[in-house]
Amino acid sequence: GGNGGSQQVSLGFEAIPTTDANDITVPAGYTASVFLPWGTPVTGSYPAFDLQANNTGSDQEQQVGMHHDGMHYFPIDVNEGGNSSIEGLLVINHEYIDKDAVHPNGPTYDDRGNRPFDEVRKEIAAHGVTVAHIRRDTNGQWDLVHGSAYNRRVTGGTPMELSGPVRGSAKVVTPYSPNGTRTRGTLNNCSMGPTPWNTYLTAEENWHGYFVSRDNPLPKELSRAGVKAESRYDWELADNRAEEYVRFDATSTGESANEDYRYEPNSFGFMVEIDPFAPESTPKKRTALGKFGHEGVIFAPATDGQPVVCYSGDDRRFEYIYKFVSAQPYFADTADGSLLDSGTLYVARFNDDGSGEWLPLSMDDAGFVQKMENAVGTPVGEIQFDGPFINQADLLLNTRLAADIAGATPMDRPEWGAIDPVTGEVYFTLTNNSQRTEDQTNAANPIAENRNGHIIRWKEAGDEYTATSFDWDIYVFGGDAGTQTVVGDNVVVELDETNIFNSPDGLWFDNDRRLWIQTDGRWGEPFGNNMMLAANPDTREIKRFLVGPSNCEVTGVVTTPDQTSMFLGIQHPVAWPAGSAEGHPRSSVVVVTRADGGVIGA
Ligand code: FEO
Ligand code: CA
Ligand code: CA
Ligand code: CA
């Protein structure tokens, strides 16, 4: 907790207008430059990027992945007490791929419908995470540190440990891991969260689209998630039928025991911990934080002797916001990821009177167990709930279903969270939900066919992050000029040409409490391209800071500790940075600096 408003928030730049220019547009006095675009050689033998996308799967395993999303800058101690603003590890998520851009002429199929296995290898390698050791030279230019032992690619094929209650469950046994302790790869890494012990948690969002199952009926672990008989990229159709590709077919009648990957999808949909300072370390899937379409995670400030608390949204229409509270207390000297292996997972209920409750999803909670037993034999959403969860692992593998049973509030697509470092208020973007009908509205999601989204925030009871109740309000509604956010009888925000936006997605508080809002929504009139705005949490002043190139979303943002360099992500452009005639489009990091060397946004 704290004393709200004690620290003035400065937004000293001139707001820029909307634009549909196929470029990065920033305020006067600022510069934006492309850094570490898709395909940049980053490790191994540093294979050069081919502008026409002729690189192999092996090349891609040594190059920056595609579709940059959440990212974080970890300073390296260069005589600055671990707070260097000129040298660090930039860790970048790669959410998915543009299958037409990743190959010279798009994906190919043979006459039997199978795919060349090296195309599949390349697509898997374009997913995951990049760890890039970067340094700012005396001219102010950021460069990759060539040959650094920290440089690393984690891909959709990297060996991983399962950790927490799901580890060792019969429901994650595969031919690859007969004891259910390991899996391969992290997929659809959208946003992330740095932990209080200086590691990186990457989120697995739309994991379901990578798998197929032709089982009928589907097990509830797959049906509630949306797994279908077709996959997004057809990796299971690799023409060499190698086990590392066949595993994406989860149909239970595999042709042999070696192909029985019915439980493979059960090891995706988690928060995955990577220690960027230990390049040989095996990433760990922290299953106690739940399995759903994890957008990202935001940790509350950690206090010695208190549990660790973090929040995570499930970005799908009518899904939920979750909170995890560790069983063990945090101590800065000894804290590590094992704190995330035991604790209580809660889901949020937003009451119409502005109060809210955290509902435990725990087989040790008598209230939850009673609700679960009452639900047996009844429809829960579209699922016939035919039997109770047998243990916490079973519950976690069905987190969404457990949250349905608990009575959580279905939200308008929860994306990123951010915590005000002074007031302790937790903000979450609710990006949009065009499918909410009038009779499905509630006070926290009050707009039918919500096409513009809004940002909600709450304060935990007693200023304790471990509290089981909170008070919430809506910070701002997105929309066209004239869109109002009203508190009581007061219009607290009315959007105008300096700040109209739709579909808030990325969200981040910098060290000076500027709230950065990034959009992933409709482009064209009146909004122009997707953008990033900066906001004052106290006054709700909002100003447009940056507009991205055509068709992109702007996602992922962090600064150096001194706030003079900002890194952000440009995802899925169609003709940028080179222009479509000169090469394939490339998602990229963009570095923003000020000509006068000042703090970004101040
Ligand atoms: Fe990947 Fe929910 O944005
Ligand atoms: Ca995206
Ligand atoms: Ca997002
Ligand atoms: Ca989005």
The dihedral over CA atoms of 166, 170, 172, 174, expressed in degrees to the nearest 10, equals: 150
| Per-residue pLDDT at 7 | 72
Q: Which atom of ligand 1 is nearest to the CA of 205?
A: 1
Measured in angstroms, how far is the CA atom of residue 431 from the centroid of ligand 1? 9
pLDDT of residue 583: 80
39 and 97 Cβ atoms separated by less than 8 Å? no
d(CA 241, CA 235): 10
469: tokens are: 């109740």
Q: Is 74 helix (H, G, I), strand (E, B) or coil?
A: strand
Which residues have beta carbons under 5 A from ligand 3 (an ion)?
A: 190, 415, 505
Identify residue 292 by its one-letter amino acid code.
Answer: F
Q: Nearest bound ligand to CA 502?
A: 4
**pLDDT tens per residue, range 585-598:** 999 999 999 999 99
Q: How far is the CA of 518 from the centre of ligand 1 (A)?
A: 12
From ligand 4's centre to the CA of 221, what distance in Å?
24
Per cent of the chain over pLDDT 70 is 97
Residue type for position 228 = K
494-520 pLDDT, tens digit per residue, is: 999 999 999 999 999 999 999 999 999
Q: How many CA atoms lie within 13 A of 13 on its CB side?
A: 29
Pairing mode of beta strands 159-163, 284-286: parallel
| Mean pLDDT of the region 266-275 | 99
If you count them, how many residues does the chain have?
602
Q: Of ligand 1's atoms, which has the minimum distance to the CA of residue 69?
A: 1
Half-sphere exposure of 320 (CA within 13 A, CB side): 26
From the CA of 208, how far away is ligand 1's center (Å)? Answer: 13
Helix (H) or strand (E) holding 403: helix 399-406
- For the CA of 413, the nearest atom of ligand 1: 2
Cβ-contact 134, 90 below 8 angstroms: yes
Q: What's the confidence (pLDDT) of residue 255?
A: 64
pLDDT tens per residue, range 35-56? 999 999 999 999 999 999 999 9
Closest ligand to residue 68's CA: 2
- What's the gap in Å between 130 CA and the centre of ligand 2? 17
For 61, the token pair is 């395993």
Please give the number of the atom of ligand 1 that sits closest to the Cα of 520. Answer: 3
d(CA 190, ligand 4 centre) in Å: 9
* Ligand found nearest the CA of 70: 3
Q: What is the mean pLDDT of residues 121-131?
A: 99
Atom of ligand 1 nearest to the CA of 295: 2
Ligand nearest to the CA of 315: 1
Which value, in Å, is the radius of gyration of the alpha carbons in the chain?
23
Query: Residues 90, 71: contact at Cβ < 8 Å?
Result: yes
- Reported as a pLDDT band with limits 50, 70 and 90, residue 133 is very high
> Within 6 Å (CB) of ligand 1, which residues are found?
95, 190, 205, 295, 315, 415, 505
Nearest atom within ligand 1 for CA of residue 315: 2
Whether the CB-CB separation of 137 and 101 falls below 8 Å is answered with no
Complex ipTM, two decimals?
A: 0.94
What is the tens place of the pLDDT at every residue in 50-97?
999 999 999 999 999 999 999 999 999 866 677 899 999 999 999 999
| CA separation for the pair 316, 563 (Å, rounded) | 33
Q: How far is the CA of 424 from the centre of ligand 4 (A)?
A: 25
pLDDT in the model for residue 472: 98
Atom of ligand 1 nearest to the CA of 191: 1
580 pLDDT above the threshold of 60: no
pTM given for the model: 0.97
Ligand 3 centroid–CA 187 distance in Å is: 14
Which ligand is closest to the CA of 205, given by its number? 1
Nearest ligand for residue 189 CA: 1
Q: Average pLDDT, whole number, for the chain? A: 96
Q: Average pLDDT of 163-172? A: 98
Q: How far apart are CA 444 and CA 456, in angstroms?
A: 8
| Atom 1, ligand 1: residue with shortest CA distance | 190
How far is Cα 509 from Cα 496, in angstroms, rounded to an integer?
23
Q: What is the pLDDT of residues 283-322, one digit of tens each?
A: 999 999 999 999 999 999 999 999 999 999 999 999 999 9
Q: How far is the CA of 350 from the centre of ligand 2 (A)?
A: 27
pLDDT mean over 219-241 = 97
Distance (Å) from CA 251 to ligand 1 centroid:
27
